[in-house]
Amino acid sequence: MAKILSGREVSARIKDELKGEVSELKKQGIFAGLAVIIVGDDPASRVYVNNKKKACEELGIYSEEYALSGETSEEELIGLIERLNKDDSISGILVQLPLPKHISEKRILESINPQKDVDAFHPINVGKIMTGDYDFVPCTPAGIMELIKESGVSVSGKDCVVIGRSNIVGKPMSMLLLHQNGTVTVCHSRTNNLKEKAKNADILVVAIGKPKFVTGDMIKEGAVVIDVGINRLEDKKLVGDVDFEGAEKVAGAITPVPGGVGPMTIAMLMKNTVKAAIINRTEKKI
């Protein structure tokens, strides 16, 4: 039976450490503050934003939420970001994705001050992830690295396979594994012999957005399996991109869904917000 990598437990530990750090920083006159912007009424985004706000409260981090109508123009959104860029009480700015179709995601992400870009989605921060010289690591890949550490398996020299090539997870994930000396293969919907490639992985990260896509017969005995997927089935049950029941019989360690990668993403966002507070020397809101 595989070791269960509980994101709930690891994230609670990390948040506990951060809570102490937030309180120490306040004594030095540095106050972490996060601005979260949501445009439109996507129910999943709403849940994510609420969880982010809740985590800020738990840690003593000041937060502001901007819930904008789905009809908000690109110029209005950029105006708000520019104001927050200059606000000395705001350490980090997060624009929840996806955005409505009439707004250019690229233009919005480029308008965020890179020093307040706690998602690490600005092209400057994306570039820094390529070179390994970064302040902010994208939250989901950063959380996954913590879970791999928790498995006790060292990345160095291992065959790492990432299924999915998104800008948010797959691409930065492959860089973080490479920085820790993993041998990385990135697979996607057009990959030939995907099953064979997955089965070669000592560390398998799955972020393809298809329920139970990876089955037990695609996993190497003893592999570390990280499931980034969150899919709601017709019967309302939440499942990952990995068939957990089949996979846990073969894997050495595996993340559950829910309670695996999800809570880690939020803990890493908090970590980036604290880092941003230090970089920007953020002041108390008056």
> Footprint of ligand GUN on this chain (CB under 6 A)?
94-97, 119, 139-140, 168, 265
Nearest residue to ligand GUN, by Cβ distance, number only:
97
Closest approach of Cβ 46 to ligand GUN, in Å? Answer: 12
Closest approach of Cβ 180 to ligand GUN, in Å? Answer: 21
The catalytic residues are: 52, 96, 119
Matching residue, tokens 């000592």: 202
Give yes or no for a contact between 82 and 90, defined as CB atoms under 8 angstroms apart.
no
Q: Report the number of secondary-structure helices (H) and strands (E) in the chain.
A: 10, 11
Q: Which is nearer to ligand GUN, 265 or 280 (CB)?
A: 265
Closest approach of Cβ 238 to ligand GUN, in Å? Answer: 16
Q: Which is nearer to ligand GUN, 126 or 194 (CB)?
A: 126
In this structure, the number of other CB atoms found within 10 A of the CB of residue 9 comes to 13
Q: Which is nearer to ligand GUN, 68 or 97 (CB)?
A: 97
Closest approach of Cβ 169 to ligand GUN, in Å? Answer: 8
Per-position b or e across 249-278, b if 16+ CB within 10 A of its CB: ebbbbbbbbebbbbbbbbbbbbbbbbbbbe
Q: Which is nearer to ligand GUN, 97 or 153 (CB)?
A: 97
